[in-house]
Amino acid sequence: MTPPTRPFRVLVCDELAPDAEEIFRSAGCELETRLGLAEAQLCEVVAGRDALVVRSATRITRKVIEAADRLAVIGRAGVGVDNIDCDAATERGVVVMNTPDGNTLSAAELALAHLFALARHLPRADRAARDGWKKKGLMGTELTGKTLGVIGLGRIGRAVAQRALGLELLVLAHDPFLASGAESPVRGVELTTLDDLLARSDFVTLHVPLNDGTRNLLSRERLGRMKRGARVINAARGGLIDEAALIEALDSGHLRGAALDVLAEEPPRATNPLLAREDVILSPHLGASSDEAQRNVAVEIALQIVGFLVDGVAKNAVNAPAADAATLRRLAPYLKLAERAGSFLAQLLAEPLERLELTLGGELASGDPHQPRLAALVGALRPSLGDAVNFVNAPRFARERALELFQAPERDPARPALALRAIGRSGRERQVVGDVFGGAPRFVRYGELRIDLEPEGALIVTRHADQPGVVGMVGTLLGRHGVNIRRIELGPLAAPATATTEAPASASAARAASGDALGLWSLYEAPSRAALLELAALPAVRAVEFVRF
């Protein structure tokens, strides 16, 4: 490793393993540890720092980033970067890195520990042994020969599946981005549909991120489809299981037990009924709580930061590929535009993507297309993969999911900076066109509708009857649910062309012929599920889709 020409100054904001600190010192970095700093305190001490290191406790806000005069990189020793303002970092040319692989084994092993604990009632057995050595009600079951259903075959799900095969379980897996019946990435694991997995599995373990598509993934209906007497394990994210429905399934005897490392509300209230159940095993979000995991993520982030400061190599960059600060600042709004376009289309299609088609123009017409390509790919994958996907591993995830990214060879400086079309496995497709104005990304066209939309916050897309009063009805409904509208983009939809339909005399006639309109409702806050369901039930509303940026 090439020694730095000047000592890089690194501020450690949360506890870090000694091995990681030694990596910084060996590379000639000046290391200072300041724990528990609030925003105002960070703003006072961030000047002159080249790098910040955090876990989950310290928040790196826009104010902190703007107070920095030399900051080049922020490192998160862990996966989630919700505590870092990545947009502000990108705008200032600051790379944000995470360590998506450091806690993989610890999280996988915890899921397996819960598997054994469920099979042999270990928490209850411990209490019974201390209370008179009682065996009644503790008859367990062997795991050998049983069927384990793994929902989500990311890095943790794969580690669970591989180890379960070694325990001689039959392993089924479902991943929405891997086709049922296709060749499994884990030899010996059968890929199948979610319904089939639930119906056949004695144990089901969840390993997917939490997003709008996976919230309450195990709903009342899906829990009812599970094999009678089955048990469920969630060591991934709270909110993946409808907890009220889970209690009903346990009360009825349909399910025999559950093991949960995560809950929808953490810490849970004392009145949470799950706390009092003997058939539920709980642990306080311990997936990454092992000596090895904590050391691994600390060492990994130290090596990544040193590699970036010394050699300019950005490994596991969450917000941008490797680039110097000046280039990153110039590209920042365009990369954000590409990422938001990919996320927008992926959320709207709500199905595995088969192909992305990217056309560059404007300021991007003459530059290197690699970075906006990566940004679009990252955006398209994040709704399903969360913070585990970044600018380094996005191409690998895309290959695993058979997602093809095609870039049109023609580039026209007179056109908007970016046009992105997404095509799903079912053949459905959506397209958005965007550009940058005054340093801010905007969507300027969605399908055939010309718009002026800032891709920020929450967004509802409606297809509704093109008639008076609809806007008032929607606005009134959202207002009743406490949701404030920021901006509305409206326009009539063209009627679908058919071989037997005579073409209308004009474009305006074609648009009017469908009788429907499209609405994009930019909101200041996300609506509740109840609000979305009520909106979809309005007689004039044909379809409702929700997007969160």
Strand locations in 30-85 (E): 30-33, 51-54, 73-76
| Beta-bridge partner residues of 322 | none
Whether 266 is a known active-site residue: answer yes
Q: Which residues, 6+ apart, have CB-to-CB distance to 286 below 8 Å?
A: 110, 261
DSSP class of 290? S
For residue 18, is the peptide bond before it cis, meaning its omega torsion is within 30 degrees of 0? Answer: no
- 77 vs 61: CA distance, rounded Å: 17
**Dihedral, 9, 12, 16, 19 alpha carbons, nearest 10:** 0
329 labelled catalytic: no
Partnered with residue 241 across adjacent β-strands are 218
3 state SS for 307-358 = HHHHHCCCCCECCCCCCCHHHHHHHHHHHHHHHHHHHHHHHHHCCCEEEEEE
The whole-angstrom distance between residue 103's C-alpha and the CA centroid of its chain comes to 17
Q: What is the rounded CA–CA span in Å between residue 145 and residue 241? A: 26
Residues 335, 338, 343, 346, CA torsion sign: negative
Helix and strand tally (H, E) in the chain? 17, 22
Residue 142 bears catalytic tag: no
Of 130, 142, 187, 266, which residue is the catalytic one? 266
354: left (phi over 0), alpha (psi -120 to 50) or beta: alpha
Largest CA distance in the chain: 88
The Cα 5–Cα 336 span in angstroms is: 33
The residue written with tokens 């590929």 in the block is 321
**From 285, 355, 415, 445, the catalytic residue:** 285
Distances in Å between the Cα of 362 and the Cα atoms of 64, 321, 378, 477, 549 are 33, 21, 22, 40, 24
Burial (0-12, 13-18, 19+ Cβ within 10 Å), 166? exposed
Catalytic position from the list 121, 237, 421, 464 = 237
Tokens of 449: 């509708």
Catalytic positions, written as ranges: 237, 266, 285
